[in-house]
Homo-oligomer: A and B are copies of this chain.
Amino acid sequence: MKQHTANFDTKMKLIHGFSNKTRMQILECIKEEEKTVSQIIEETKGNQSNISQHLACLKGCGIIVGRNEGKYMYYSLRNQHIRDLLSMFDVVLEDVENDVACCDRHMD
Binding site for B on A (CB under 8 A): 6-8, 10-16, 18-19, 21, 24, 56, 59-63, 78-79, 81-82, 84-85, 88-93, 95-97, 99-101, 103-104, 106-107
A103 and B15 within 8 A (CB)? no
Count of this chain's copies in the oligomeric assembly: 2
Contact of A107 among B21, B60, B84, B95 (CB under 8 A): B60
Q: For the complex, would chain A's binding face be called helix, strand, loop or mixed by DSSP majority?
A: helix
| Docked CA distance A95–B97 (Å) | 30
Contacts of A96 in B (CB 8 A): 10, 14, 61-63, 78
A11 and B89 within 8 A (CB)? yes
Contact of A106 among B11, B60, B99, B100 (CB under 8 A): B60
> Contacts A60-B106, A101-B6: A24 and B14 contacting too (C-beta < 8 A)?
no
B10 and A97 within 8 A (CB)? yes
| Docked CA distance A103–B62 (Å) | 8
- Minimal Cβ-Cβ distance residue in B for A94: B81
